Amino acid sequence: MQDLTHYIDGDHVQGGSGRFSDVYNPATGEVQARAPLASRAEIDHAVEIAQAAQPKWAATNPQRRARVMMEFVRLLNRDMDKLAEALSREHGKTLPDAKGDVQRGLEVVEFCVGAPHLLKGEYTDGAGPGIDMYSMRQPLGVSAGITPFNFPAMIPMWMFAPAIACGNAFILKPSERAPSVPLMLAELMLEAGLPKGILQVVNGDKEAVDAILEHEGIASIGFVGSTPIAEYIYGKGCAHGKRVQCFGGAKNHMIVMPDADMEQAADALVGAGYGAAGERCMAISVAVPVGEETADRLIAALKPRIESLKVGPYTSGDDVDFGPVVTAAAKENILNLVQSGVDAGAELVVDGRDFRLQGYEEGFFVGAHLFDRVTPDMDIYRKEIFGPVLSTVRAASYEEALKLAMDHEMGNGTAIFTRDGDAARDFANRVNVGMVGINVPIPVPLAYHSFGGWKKSAFGDLNQHGTDSFKFYTKTKTVTARWPSGIKDGGEFNFKPMD
C-alpha cells in the first residue's frame, strides 16, 4: 500500500500530522493508498511558501505566464493515458469518462493561454481636461481551491489554471478520496515551467478546510461539492473577508415534450443519467415527460436500454458503460434512497438493487435503476442521489413540467427535448436554472463561456471558467491621471501648475 504525499514548494512532502485517509480501489473495495491529512501548521507552511513565490510570478508578464499554460497543454496531451488510468483506479469511472475528465480541464487551460488579452483593462483618453483614465487587473495574491472526488482532474484545472494565469499562487485541497491525479497535475505544471511554490497541493479533511477558510494569507476560495458544505464554506469564507465562489448540489430535470424524437430523447437520458455512475453534478436525474402518452412511450424506450447497460471495472475497456461508485458509504446511501422511493410508492421499473459482479463482490458496484410515477414529495425527487438512478415525474402539461424545474431548490442544469422552437425559446427564457440545454442533455458550457448554477446550486457572484474566472481571480484598479501642461519658451518648458 502506498503512502501519498503533499506537494509543497515544487516537491513531494510526507504528511506530518500522523493522520491519514484510506484511498480505495472502488472496483475491488481494497485500500490501495493512504492520503495524509494536513494539520493547520502544514497549511500555514504551504501558504507561507506561496506568499514568498507569488510576487515574482505576478511580475512575470502575462505572455510568459501564458507560455507555461501552452506547455502544460502539451504535457497533458502527452500523459493523457497515464492520467486517465490513475483517475479511473481511484474514482472507478471508465477510461473514456476519465479521459473526458482530463480533456474538459485541458480546454480551460487552453482558454487561459489567452491571459494577455483577458487581463487587459480599459482606457479613456480625455476623460476630462487633460485627464486620462485607465483600469488594470491585478492578481489577488494567494488563492485556494477545495475540489470534489468526482472530477479530480477537471475541476482542479478549472480553478488553478485561471488563478495562476492571472498571476496568483494557488493552494489546492483535493478530495482525499481521489488525490493522485491532482498531485500529478502539480508535477506537470512544474515541468511546464511554473516556478516552485506557485501551485501547492495539500491533502486534508475538515481541519485543513477550516485552516484555509480562516487563514489571513488566502484572498479567495473556490469550492465544488454538496450544497450543505457549499453553504458552510461560503458563509465562513465571507465572514473571514475572502472572495468566495461555491458550487453545490443539483437535481437536473429533462423535459420531454410530446413532439420530441423519442429515440433521441431516450438515448440522451441514458447517457446523461448513467454515465460515470451518475456521480456528476450535471447528470440528468429527473425525466419529465409531458402527457401520459409521452410518458408511456418514454418508459417503453428507456427500459430495454437501461436493462442492457453493462457495469464493470474500468479495466474491462470499452465494453463497460459505467463503473462502481466511489465508496461503500456512497453505495449504501444510494440503495437507501432507492428503498425510500419504493416505500413511498414510486414504481421501480428497472431494479438494480441485487446487482452483483462475479469476481468483484467486494467492489462498490450499484446496478442501474429507473423509477416511474415519482412525485415531488418523495426523497428520491428532493435529494441529490449521486448514483445510477433516474426518476420519472409525469407532467400533465408544459407549464406543469416547467414549474417542477423552477420550484426545486436546486438550479444547476436543465434540458428540454422538443421540435417546437417556440417552446424551447420560452423554456430557455423563463426557467430559473443556470445552464439550459435544448435537445442537449448535459448543457456544460465550453471553456470560453462560464459554468454555474442558480438557487442552492451556487453561492457567489461569479461563475467558473470563461471570462468570469479572470474577474474572480483579479481585482480592478482604476487610475485617473492628469499631467501639468508646458509652454515651450526659449527651448525650455514652463510648467503650469494644476488647478
CA distances, 71 to each of 188, 262, 393 (Å):
9, 45, 48
Q: How does DSSP assign 199-260, residue by residue?
A: EEE---SHHHHHHHHH-TT--EEEEES-HHHHHHHHHHHHHTT-EEEEE----EEEEE-TTS
Dihedral Cα 381, 385, 391, 395, nearest 10 deg: 30
166 included as an active-site residue: no
In the sheet with 142-146, reading across from the earlier edge strand, the strands are: 11-13, 6-8, 199-201, 169-173, 142-146, 220-224, 243-247, 458-459
Asked whether 134 and 124 are in contact (CB, 8 A), the reply is: yes
3-state secondary structure 302-319: HHHHHHCCCECCHHHHHH
The distance between the two most distant Cα atoms of the chain, rounded to a whole number of Å, is: 98
In sequence order, which ranges of 412-451 are alpha helices (DSSP H)? 421-430
* Residue 320, C-alpha cell as written in the block: 463497460
Beta strands 435-438 and 413-417 are: parallel
Backbone angles phi, psi at 131, to 5 degrees: -115, 130
- Contacts of 227-231 spanning 24+ positions with Cβ under 8 A: 227/384, 227/410, 227/456, 227/457, 230/458, 230/459, 231/456, 231/459
Residue type, 267: D
Cα distance between residue 394 and residue 324, in whole Å: 29
Cα distance between residue 453 and residue 432, in whole Å: 9
The residue annotated as part of the active site, out of 112, 166, 246, 281, is 281
Beta strands 2-3 and 30-36 are: parallel
Asked whether 456 and 411 are in contact (CB, 8 A), the reply is: yes
Q: Residue 266: helix, strand or coil by DSSP?
A: helix
Asked whether 67 and 115 are in contact (CB, 8 A), the reply is: no
Residue type, 321: D
Asked whether 405 and 255 are in contact (CB, 8 A), the reply is: yes
Active site residues: 281
